[in-house]
Amino acid sequence: MNKRIKNKSRISKLMKFIVVLSLGLILYFGFNTHVANLYSNLTSSLSDMHLSRRSNPVEVDTLKDIVELDLDTTNEDHEALRLLELEKLALELKELELENRRNLLEELRPILVDLLNQTPGRISLSLFCIYTEELIDINGDEMYFSASTIKLPTHMMVAEAVERGELAWDDMLTIGSNHWISGSGVLQFNKQIGSQLTLRDAMRYSIRYSDNVGHRMMTSSIIENFRHYEVGLDNHHWDLTRKVSERYLNSAPVMGRMFITANQLTEIFKVLYNDREVVSGYEKIIDYMINSSWDNRFKTELSTGIVAHTPGWTYPYSHDSGLFFTDLPYILVVLTHGVHDAPQFLSRISDKILMQLDS
């Protein structure tokens, strides 16, 4: 990640201190070089997990791997017992961290409810903590015009098609009249009908610049009738909404245009996070989102480098949705309609949550 948050959680510091102190005492009282190596590996692993913004928190599997690796090299039962005690300690510390996050979420819930109630306009919020699997849902099932937030599942479907071998990142796409559209992006200004881009570059433009022309090129690669003839905007919206609903939401679209809820977008982000090591293109999507040119809404001075976000706006709608790679990652989606200074409002609520959960 490009930037770290300065304020580390107190319980994370306490966890690391306890582990270091406990293992240090064990070394002091006479453990051999074998256990010293475990001490070095475990503390190094904990340090790396806290410094890397895209690492998982202190994971059970990681610690078990370290312990099991060392257990394989010793036949002394007393050492094995003590090593298992270290593993137990690490698991207990992880549970303390998770419990702390649950408490922070409970404290945050009434604060967010009050903030949304005091803000004129219609607002929906979905906040999902990935490792505690807890959800703060405020009007999360209300429908909104999706605007550019619909681009995320489009990119994901393209990455899946590449993974299956149906498409390739070096495939050449030609900008057609059915791709040409005004609004956000840069291709409409520096390219023309007939220009060609690789599938990879079309996705990069679509994500980093929220480019509407690039997004339509993405859509044409996965929706057959849009590829072969020029269709109206409503048909384009309908086809894309149907495709997204069938793939990620196990439901039929409610309306003929791209309407979505905060909770539905959260479900899509869950797929992106959980399958990022299965679908190789998902990491490409995440990197482009982190380095997008939209330095507003969820992307603030505090969150730059740790949030992969997809904003969307079509007056009077203004949204943002993102995956925050903190020590315990979370998904945040906020959809608004008729909110004054909506981009600034989205930045404030994003920073408030980040400071509460990672302070």
- 248: CATH: 3.40.710.10
Q: Report CA dihedral (319, 300, 290, 63) to the nearest 10 degrees.
A: -110
The answer to whether residue 269 is domain-embedded is: no
Among the candidates 257, 279, 300, a domain finishes at 257
The average confidence (pLDDT) of the chain is 76
| Domain count along the chain | 2
Mean pLDDT lowest for which of 49-58, 118-127, 128-137?
Answer: 49-58
pLDDT of residue 87: 73
Q: Write the pLDDT tens digit of every residue in 296-311.
A: 899 999 999 999 999 9
pLDDT of residue 258: 73
Percent pLDDT > 70 in the chain is 66
Beta-carbon contacts of residue 83 (< 8 Å; ≥ 6 apart):
35, 38, 67, 70, 71
Among the candidates 216, 233, 257, a domain finishes at 257
Among the candidates 212, 239, 257, a domain finishes at 257
Mean pLDDT lowest for which of 110-124, 250-264, 293-307, 325-339?
Answer: 250-264
Range of the domain at 170: 148-257
pLDDT of residue 12: 52
Kindly indicate the confidence band of residue 92, based on its pLDDT and cuts at 50, 70 and 90: confident
Rounded mean pLDDT, 272-280 = 94
- Confidence check: pLDDT of 22 > 70: no
Percent pLDDT > 90 in the chain is 39
Instruction: State whether 95 and 155 are in the same domain.
Output: no
The answer to whether residue 182 is domain-embedded is: yes
235 DSSP 8-state letter: H
pLDDT of residue 37: 53
- Confidence check: pLDDT of 282 > 50: yes
The answer to whether residue 131 is domain-embedded is: no
Rounded mean pLDDT, 48-58 = 42
Instruction: State whether 157 and 216 are in the same domain.
Output: yes
Render 51-113 in DSSP notation, one character per residue. Answer: H-TTS-SS-HHHHHHHHHHHHTT---HHHHHHHHHHHHHHHHHHHHHHHHHHHHHHHHHHHHH
- Confidence check: pLDDT of 343 > 50: yes
Exposed e or buried b for every residue in 318-346, given b needs 16+ CB within 10 A?
bbbbbbbbbbbbbbbbbbbbebeebbebb
Instruction: State whether 23 and 92 are in the same domain.
Output: yes
pLDDT of residue 172: 92
pLDDT of residue 260: 87
The answer to whether residue 227 is domain-embedded is: yes
Rounded mean pLDDT, 146-153 = 89
The answer to whether residue 109 is domain-embedded is: no
Stated pTM of the model: 0.71
Rounded mean pLDDT, 103-132 = 92
Top pLDDT among 327 and 333 is at 333
The answer to whether residue 27 is domain-embedded is: yes
The answer to whether residue 70 is domain-embedded is: yes
pLDDT of residue 28: 45
Rounded mean pLDDT, 252-273 = 80
Rounded mean pLDDT, 25-48 = 49
Q: Report CA dihedral (124, 356, 91, 74) to the nearest 10 degrees.
A: 120
The alpha-helical segments, DSSP class H, found in 127-211 are: 151-163, 187-190, 199-208
Of 203, 245, 195, the C-alpha closest to 220 is: 203
pLDDT of residue 227: 41
Q: Write the pLDDT tens digit of every residue in 191-203.
A: 777 788 999 998 9
- Confidence check: pLDDT of 3 > 50: no
Instruction: State whether 154 and 248 are in the same domain.
Output: yes
Kindly indicate the confidence band of residue 324, based on its pLDDT and cuts at 50, 70 and 90: very high
Kindly indicate the confidence band of residue 233, based on its pLDDT and cuts at 50, 70 and 90: very low
Helix and strand tally (H, E) in the chain? 13, 10
The answer to whether residue 347 is domain-embedded is: no
Kindly indicate the confidence band of residue 40, based on its pLDDT and cuts at 50, 70 and 90: low
- Confidence check: pLDDT of 29 > 50: no
Rounded mean pLDDT, 96-119 = 85
Rounded mean pLDDT, 113-133 = 94
